Each structure stands twice: as structure tokens, then as C-alpha cells.
Amino acid sequence: MSRLSEGTLQRAIAFLAALGIGVAAYIAIADANSGSPVCLGGGSGCETVARSSWSHLAGVNIAVFGVIGYALLLATAFFADDLARFAGFALALAGFGYSVFLTYVELFKIEATCQWCLASAVLMTVLFALCAARLIVFAGVPEAPEASPRRA
């Protein structure tokens, strides 16, 4: 059994963060066009959630904050130092916590669920686990030579 490398974790984090950007951007674009995300499984849960007062914070659709958060997580995946590891962990922790809160709001306040919002929550949960593993396993490990730029 081979040991998981930091590079593998970085690639997984980058892939999932890029996927998260896509999901959050879709929700934000649907809202900007005065609509709501289309529920692929049918139903009106996405519209109910999008029309609720919980879908905006300070007049901005919360999906916009999601795009920013995922983009910052993506950026941390390109660096192999303790600052990037900790920043990724802190961002993922904040995103995970907010996703838990929003899922609670969907279930118990709005009483409807949006599959796009739940997909984002799942992505953020997995990103939190990956960023936590990266921080725990590789904290204090200097940047690997293959991760640094090559000199001419």
C-alpha cells in the first residue's frame, strides 16, 4: 500500500474546488437572471430555496460567496507550504460550517431542499476532509522539490 502524497491531495482539492466553482456559479447565474436553478430530479425545491430570504446575504446571493470561497480553495491547492495548508483548512472549515448551517435552514426553516445546494455542501464536506488530512499529515514538511518551479 503506497502512502498518499501531498500532490495527490492537491490535485483532488483543485478538482473538487473547480467543480464547486461550477456549481456555485450556476446557482449565482440563475439568480442573476431572475430565476432559480433547475432541479434535475423535478420538483420545486430549488425554486423555493432560491426565493427564500435566506438565499441572500447583504443583498448578494450566497452562491457568489461560494464561488469566492471555492476559488480561494483552488488557489491554496497550487502551493505546498504550511501557509497554504492552513489557509485551505481554515477556508474549508468555514465553508463546511456555513454549509451545515444552510442545510439546517433548508430542512427546518424553508422546509425545502435544493439539490445544487446539497451538492455544494457535499463538495465542501469532502474538501474539508481533504484539507484537514493535508494539514495534519504534511504540516511542517518543506515544499517538495518536484512541487517547486524548475530553474533554468
What tens digit of pLDDT does each residue of 10-42 get?
A: 999 999 999 999 999 999 999 898 778 888 877
pLDDT digits (tens, 9 = 90+) for 92-125: 999 999 999 999 999 999 999 999 999 999 999 9
- For the chain, where are the E strands, in sequence order? 56-57, 60-61
Give the domains, in start order, of the chain with CATH numbers.
20-140 (1.20.1440.130)
Q: Is 57 helix (H, G, I), strand (E, B) or coil?
A: strand
Asked if residue 36 lies in contact with residue 50, where contact means CB atoms within 8 angstroms, the answer is yes
Asked if residue 92 lies in contact with residue 103, where contact means CB atoms within 8 angstroms, the answer is no
pLDDT at residue 37, as a whole number: 86
Amino acid, single-letter form, for residue 76: T
Q: CA–CA separation, 65 vs 72, rounded Å?
A: 11
